[in-house]
Copies of this chain bind each other. A is one copy, B any other.
Amino acid sequence: MNITALEKIALSVRALSIDAIQKANSGHPGLPLGAAELGAILYGELLRHDPADPAWPDRDRFILSAGHGSMLLYALLHLAGYKDMRLEDIKTFRQVGSRAAGHPEYGMAGGIEATSGPLGQGLAMAVGLAVAETMLAARFNTAGHTIVDHYTYALAGDGCLQEGVSAEAGSFAGHQGLGKLIVFYDSNKITIDGSTDLSFTEDAAKRYEAYGWQILRGSMYDFEEIGRLTAQAKAEHKKPSLIILTSIIGKGAPNKQNTADAHGAPLGPEETAAAKQALGIPGDFYIAPEALDYFRAKRETWGKTRESWQAQFEAWSKENPEKRKDWDNFHAGKALPAALPVFAQGDKIATRSAGNKALGAIAAANANLVGGSADLKGPNAVGFPNSGVYSAKDRTGRYIHFGIREFAMAAISNGILLHGGLRAFCATFMVFADYLRPALRLSALMRQPVIYVFTHDSIFVGEDGPTHQPVEHLAALRVIPNVRFLRPADAEEAAEAWTMAMDRGEGPTVLALSRQNITVFPKEDPEWKNTIRTGAYIVKKAPGGSPGVVIIATGSELGLALEAAALAVEKKVQVVSMISRELFESQPPAIQESIIPPGVRVVCCEAGVRNGWERWAKPEDIFSIDRFGESGPAGKVAEALGFTAGALAAIVNR
């Protein structure tokens, strides 16, 4: 270990961070200054990576869970030689167009493995990355060749440890015995409000021990110790490791270090000067030549390591052509076609159950699809044939028992996708979409095609009552940018919806599925399986052709719409199933008008709040549920709320 070089790297990290934040007049110096040593040894010694190929599948992953310390990551990526992260980006830190955004943004530059501004989620995503590693290792490694064998590192602060999502993920990781997950805890005892004594005095080490983790302790400022502890962590194969490093927030800023002032604001000109003098930083955006020399040499070593992996990979490919084919399929980023289940008109089946059959078919064709539910495997109907249960004993299992941990489930799913090679779904009741919403937002922001299976999607849940009946959730999920929200109206649509979700590569899909049985209805559009991909299609044309009223319905309310159309036959009703309003609204006018002729009165029908339907119908023509539900059998609840075919027909007839 070249301590001098590591010290120079740490110095350069501090220099770049101080100046970038000061120049931006915005940012968080506390972490990059406080954890510069860890960053130096991580990127200089510990990580198995190669800046020349940030996408190398067998690289170690590092997640800066405390994402506000982004300058730590940017400085290290630049020093290590990641070409995307130019000095120019660092000099334009936090400016529009810079790859050095306020918080690390996935996709902005190689080496940024996740978007990690919202606290706690980075840790949970790291758990997902570690899960993915075990899954791929179990599938692809052979007696002769170990082609998947890497570690997942994360750096977390007090904030990450306080958030509930990290608690859920920590418990899950311990249960699963994720031995190749190593979390550094930057324990500086300071948060924005001041000392952690104000709100956070638990024994975090003991808590992680309770989760089944190995706990190691040391100083942030002792390279040899960090190296030793990391070796210990790597040697523990059955438990994730938490390495607690005592640190000083803002270390190097003589007057602000060890105070909350160092956390989230530039040091200011005076303190910048004082820090530079104290640290011996000779100029602006200073990079020590020794640091550059060190990394230059390192890049050669790293390149050789990666090349030797590549050679091994080729040898493995030759010996295992079938596995190699699978590998390519896993990494193609494209779903393979499946033999979807067939349903007969008149079949009565819940869309969750139909979805389950589709999932079975799709999973059979796509061996890289994994997933599970937050303890609702049966109710969500997401078990699938030959899946096996993922566990510490069997890493080939494809079904994941996430436990009653919705938020961590979604964040872990994000991590599984971020790793590469796998697709993932996760499931819960739609009303509990609220519990995982922050992770769904990150799926959308990171453009990760996680599939969210939300069953029990309306008041038709029935007896469980208002706490279990989504009413606002449909609207609330539709407003998140880049979320594809699909609410299939019967079994046939549910199967198509699953396919649409698998075909989507650029972001998450929500499948809103019914608890209750729904009758498979005839579809007058012979091309409906294509048309539905525009977001909507005509289920039933108006008698005679030219409609007097168009009813737009989604999901289980399509049945209600068809009934109402029959009750209001003299109005010449055309019934449209709108599986995705956003998708439909993104179509060119000609397509929209082929489904909803301009000038025709529109009535919208959905068992949820009205917001968003105003684009298509007048307020009095929206048949919605703008209040919380009731506990009772589904039909009785609908009656009590006046949500019946008769009431809809009355609106149509008005």
A199 contact set on B, CB distance < 8 A? 172, 175, 375, 401-405
Proximity string of chain A (623-654) to chain B, C-beta cutoff 8 Å, 1 when within and 0 when not: 00011101111001101100000000000000
A640 contact set on B, CB distance < 8 A? 96-97
Closest chain B CB from A438 CB (angstroms): 4
- Report whether B192 and A378 are in contact in the complex, using a CB–CB cutoff of 8 Å: yes
Proximity string of chain A (197-208) to chain B, C-beta cutoff 8 Å, 1 when within and 0 when not: 011111111110
Choose one: B98, B102, B442, B478; the contact of A464 (CB below 8 Å). B102
Instruction: Give chain A interface residues in 102-120, CB to chain B under 8 Å.
Output: 102-103, 105, 115-120
- Complex Cα–Cα for A404 and B466 (A): 29
A171 contact set on B, CB distance < 8 A? 162, 200, 202
Instruction: Give chain A interface residues in 589-642, CB to chain B under 8 Å.
Output: 609, 611-612, 614-615, 619, 626-628, 630-633, 636-637, 639-640
State whether the Cβ of A78 lies closer than 8 Å to any Cβ in chain B.
no
Choose one: B67, B102, B192; the contact of A375 (CB below 8 Å). B192
State whether the Cβ of A193 lies closer than 8 Å to any Cβ in chain B.
yes
A202 contact set on B, CB distance < 8 A? 171, 174-175, 210-212
Closest chain B CB from A258 CB (angstroms): 18
Closest chain B CB from A244 CB (angstroms): 13
State whether the Cβ of A140 lies closer than 8 Å to any Cβ in chain B.
no
State whether the Cβ of A463 lies closer than 8 Å to any Cβ in chain B.
yes
- Report whether B375 and A463 are in contact in the complex, using a CB–CB cutoff of 8 Å: no
Instruction: Give chain A interface residues in 452-475, CB to chain B under 8 Å.
Output: 462-468, 471-472, 475
- Report whether A159 and B614 are in contact in the complex, using a CB–CB cutoff of 8 Å: no
Of A39-47, A127-135, A429-437, A560-568, which binds chain B? Answer: A429-437
- Report whether B478 and A611 are in contact in the complex, using a CB–CB cutoff of 8 Å: yes
A172 contact set on B, CB distance < 8 A? 199
State whether the Cβ of A24 lies closer than 8 Å to any Cβ in chain B.
yes
- Report whether B192 and A203 are in contact in the complex, using a CB–CB cutoff of 8 Å: no
- Report whether A432 and B204 are in contact in the complex, using a CB–CB cutoff of 8 Å: no
**Number of copies of this protein chain within its complex:** 2
State whether the Cβ of A164 lies closer than 8 Å to any Cβ in chain B.
yes
- Report whether B612 and A96 are in contact in the complex, using a CB–CB cutoff of 8 Å: no
- Complex Cα–Cα for A403 and B201 (A): 10
A627 contact set on B, CB distance < 8 A? 481-482
Question: How many chain A residues touch the partner (CB < 8 A)?
Answer: 106
The closest CB in chain B to the CB of A641 belongs to B96
Proximity string of chain A (154-191) to chain B, C-beta cutoff 8 Å, 1 when within and 0 when not: 00001100111111100110110000000000000001
State whether the Cβ of A520 lies closer than 8 Å to any Cβ in chain B.
no
The closest CB in chain B to the CB of A101 belongs to B631
State whether the Cβ of A27 lies closer than 8 Å to any Cβ in chain B.
yes
The closest CB in chain B to the CB of A403 belongs to B199
A207 contact set on B, CB distance < 8 A? 206-207, 210-211
- Complex Cα–Cα for A131 and B172 (A): 30
Choose one: B67, B168, B200; the contact of A175 (CB below 8 Å). B200
Closest chain B CB from A163 CB (angstroms): 6
State whether the Cβ of A407 lies closer than 8 Å to any Cβ in chain B.
yes
Closest chain B CB from A99 CB (angstroms): 10
Residues of A within 8 A of B (CB): 24, 26-27, 67, 94-98, 101-103, 105, 115-120, 158-159, 162-168, 171-172, 174-175, 191-193, 198-207, 209-212, 373, 375-379, 389, 401-405, 407-408, 431-432, 434-435, 437-438, 441-442, 444-445, 462-468, 471-472, 475-476, 478-482, 609, 611-612, 614-615, 619, 626-628, 630-633, 636-637, 639-640
Given contacts A103-B468, A198-B389, 6 further A-B contacts (CB under 8 A): A96-B637, A163-B435, A192-B375, A193-B375, A199-B402, A434-B437
Enumerate 21 A-B pairs (CB-CB under 8 Å) in ascending A order.
Answer: A95-B633, A96-B636, A101-B631, A102-B464, A102-B465, A103-B631, A105-B465, A118-B432, A163-B168, A163-B404, A164-B164, A172-B199, A174-B201, A175-B199, A199-B405, A200-B404, A203-B212, A210-B210, A442-B467, A476-B476, A476-B479
7 pairs of A and B residues whose beta carbons are closest in the complex? A164-B164, A117-B467, A199-B403, A96-B632, A167-B167, A614-B615, A101-B631
